[in-house]
Structure 1
Amino acid sequence: MVRRRPAGTDVASRAGVSQKTVSRVMNGEPYVKEEVRLRVLQAAQELGYRRNNAARTLTSGRTRRIGVVSLGSPLYGPASTLIELERGARSTGYSLSVVTTFEGDPSGVAGAVESLLAEGVDGIVLSEPIDEGENVRVDADLPVLSLGNFPGLTGPGVVISGADGAEAGRVATRHLLDLGHETVHHVAGPQRWWAARDRLAGWQQALQKKPQEWIEGDWSPESGYAAGLRLAKRPDVTAVFVANDDMAIGLLAAMREAGREVPGDVSVVGLDDIPTAAYQWPPLTTVRQDFVTMVRHGLERLLRQIEAPGIATPGHPEPVHLVVRRSTARPR
Structure 2
Amino acid sequence: MTDVARLAGVSHQTVSRVINGHPNVTEATRARVNQAITQLGYRPNTAARALVTGSNRTIGIVGTGHALHGPVSTLYSVERAARQAGYSVLVGVPTSLDEDAINACVRRLQKQGVDGVVVIAPLRTDNGDIAGLAGDLPLVAVEGSPAGELAVVSVDQVAGAREATSHLLELGHREVWHVAGPLGWYEAADRVSGWRMAHEDRGIDPPPMLNGDWTAKSGCAAGTVLAQIAGVTAVFAGNDSMALGVLRAFDAAGRSVPRDVSVVGFDDVPDAEFYSPPLTTIRQEFGEVGIRSVEILLAQIESGTRSTRRFSIAPRLVTRASTGTPPD
TM bucket (normalised to shorter chain) is: 0.7 to 0.9
Pair 1:168–1:152, CA change in 2 (3 A)? same
Q: Structure 1: which 5+ runs fail to align?
A: 1-6
Partner SS for 2:183? coil
- Asked whether 1:175 is paired with 2:172, we answer no
Report deviation, 1:22.
3.9
Contact 1:260 1:266 in 2 (8 A): yes
- Code of the residue aligned with 1:285 in structure 2: it is T
Which one is further off, 63-72 or 112-121? 112-121
Contact 2:81 2:294 in 1 (8 A): yes
Pair 1:310–1:115, CA change in 2 (3 A)? closer
Contact 1:149 1:194 in 2 (8 A): yes
- Per-residue CA deviations over 1:194-230 (Å, capped at 9, x if unaligned) read 1111111111111114332211211111111111111
CA RMSD of aligned residues (A): 2.6
Partner SS for 1:241? strand
Output the CA distance in 2 between the equivalents of 1:277 and 1:188: 18
Report deviation, 1:23.
3.0
Match of residue 70 from structure 1: 63
Partner SS for 1:204? helix
Q: Size of the alignment, in residue pairs? A: 321
Match of residue 4 from structure 1: none
- Per-residue CA deviations over 1:65-118 (Å, capped at 9, x if unaligned) read 211111111111212222222222222222222111355778432322232233
Output the CA distance in 2 between the equivalents of 1:267 and 1:11: 64
Report deviation, 1:15.
6.1
Match of residue 244 from structure 1: 239
- Asked whether 1:214 is paired with 2:209, we answer yes
Partner SS for 2:83? helix
- Code of the residue aligned with 1:249 in structure 2: it is L
Pair 1:207–1:55, CA change in 2 (3 A)? same
Output the CA distance in 2 between the equivalents of 1:318 and 1:290: 8
Output the CA distance in 2 between the equivalents of 1:51 and 1:178: 59
Report deviation, 1:190.
1.1
Match of residue 139 from structure 2: 144
Pair 1:172–1:22, CA change in 2 (3 A)? farther
Determine which structure has greater relative contact order: mean sequence separation of CA pairs < 8 Å that are 6+ residues apart, divided by chain length.
Answer: 2
Match of residue 269 from structure 1: 264
- Per-residue CA deviations over 1:149-203 (Å, capped at 9, x if unaligned) read 324643xxx3211311111111111111111111111111111111111111111
Report deviation, 1:331.
0.7
- Code of the residue aligned with 2:176 in structure 1: it is V
- Code of the residue aligned with 1:100 in structure 2: it is V
Contact 1:162 1:298 in 2 (8 A): no
- Per-residue CA deviations over 1:258-306 (Å, capped at 9, x if unaligned) read 1111111111111111111101111000111111122112211211211
| Equivalent in 132, 154, 163 of residue 155 of structure 2 | 163
Superposed, which structure 2 residues align to 1:105-120 within 5 Å? 107-120=100-113
Report deviation, 1:52.
1.0
Report deviation, 1:238.
1.0
Output the CA distance in 2 between the equivalents of 1:144 and 1:328: 41
Report deviation, 1:20.
3.7
Partner SS for 2:63? strand
Partner SS for 2:93? strand
- Code of the residue aligned with 1:54 in structure 2: it is A
Match of residue 89 from structure 2: 96
| Equivalent in 172, 188, 198 of residue 196 of structure 1 | 188
Output the CA distance in 2 between the equivalents of 1:56 and 1:330: 63
Identity of aligned residues (%): 45
Which one is further off, 268-277 or 73-82? 73-82
Contact 1:28 1:91 in 2 (8 A): no
Contact 1:148 1:163 in 2 (8 A): yes
Q: Structure 2: which 5+ runs fail to align?
A: none
